[in-house]
């Protein structure tokens, strides 16, 4: 299985996020919609994704390790593969090998507490959605397997648009779908990669970072995260504890 360093460390739930403003200073009023990234944010899939990428790079003779992955990572896999050293004319070939190597999400595990946290948000009146770089035929079966399909009503998949994060288009489409195209600040985007934060800030949504192997708190903040939590359930608990949001 994947490189252990890419998996969420067991102490992650106790990760202390310092220098946070008081919750009452974070939100003038509750968000109307909360939109989530998928891999590494709601589900623990970064290890299996790493394995598939490692198999491709090994076949192509391209150096690859966790540090190179983190440094060159991009939600747009074509961009990431070019950064890693795959020639443009061999991207289709690399993609075929990746598809043959990837378990298509079969090994992904939903992070503990995610489903109850999303239910709490929904009960508190929020519309919930997904903006992922993952393709529809890979992510949708996982949504159904984990019982999240009814909770995440708005979905933008990686193959819905020709552009990817940090391009603002995927998030803009989700905002339009929840009726917030003209008021993006009334939505939050929650993700684990620096490009998630860049997309959120470009669009004008509240950027929430979830610490992961692709984005430690410092990197997420540098990319524009307004707050960083160790997990989605931790962030939801803090957000709902704000009396105006509960």
Binding residues vs Mg ion (CB under 5 A): 37, 39-40, 192-193
Nearer to Mg ion, 121 or 220 (CB): 220
Task: Return d(Cα 164, Cα 77) in angstroms, integer.
Answer: 9
Cα-Cα end-to-end distance for the chain: 40
CB of 21 to Mg ion, least distance (A): 25
| Integer CA distances (angstroms), 125 to 131, 156, 186, in order | 20, 21, 13
Of the pair 93, 216, the CB lying nearest Mg ion is at 216
3 or 93: CB nearest Mg ion = 3
Residue 8 DSSP code: P
30 or 70: CB nearest Mg ion: 70
Residue bearing tokens 């252990």:
4
Token pair, residue 58, equals: 């090994």
CB 41 within 8 A of CB 94: no
Task: Name the residue with the smallest CB distance to Mg ion.
Answer: 40
Residue 40 CB, nearest distance to Mg ion (Å)? 4
Closer of 39 and 44 to Mg ion (Cβ): 39
In order, the DSSP letters of 223-245 are TT-SEEESSHHHHHHHHHHSTTT
CB of 243 to Mg ion, least distance (A): 31
Residues paired with 207 in a beta bridge: 189
């Amino acid at each position: 299985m994947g490189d252990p360093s890419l998996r969420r460390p067991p102490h992650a739930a106790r990760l202390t996020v310092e220098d946070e403003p008081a919750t009452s200073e974070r939100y003038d009023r509750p968000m109307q919609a909360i939109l989530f990234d998928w891999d590494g944010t709601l589900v623990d899939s970064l290890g299996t994704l790493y394995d598939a990428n490692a198999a491709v790079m090994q076949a192509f003779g391209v150096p690859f390790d966790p540090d190179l992955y983190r440094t060159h990572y991009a939600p747009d896999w074509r961009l990431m593969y070019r950064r890693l050293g795959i020639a443009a004319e061999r991207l289709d070939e690399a993609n075929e090998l990746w598809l043959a190597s990837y378990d298509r999400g079969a090994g992904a595990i939903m992070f503990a507490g995610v489903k109850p946290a999303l239910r709490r948000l929904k009960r508190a009146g929020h519309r919930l959605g997904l903006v992922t770089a993952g393709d529809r035929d890979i992510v949708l079966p996982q949504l159904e397997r984990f019982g999240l399909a009814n909770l995440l009503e708005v979905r933008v998949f990686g193959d819905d648009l020709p552009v990817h994060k940090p391009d603002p288009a995927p998030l803009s489409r989700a905002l339009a779908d929840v009726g917030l195209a003209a008021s993006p600040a009334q939505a939050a985007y929650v993700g684990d990669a620096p490009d998630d934060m860049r997309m959120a800030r470009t669009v004008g949504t509240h950027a929430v970072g979830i610490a992961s192997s692709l984005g430690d708190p410092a990197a997420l903040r540098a990319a524009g995260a307004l707050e960083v939590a160790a997990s989605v359930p931790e962030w939801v608990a803090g957000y709902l504890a704000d009396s105006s949001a509960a």
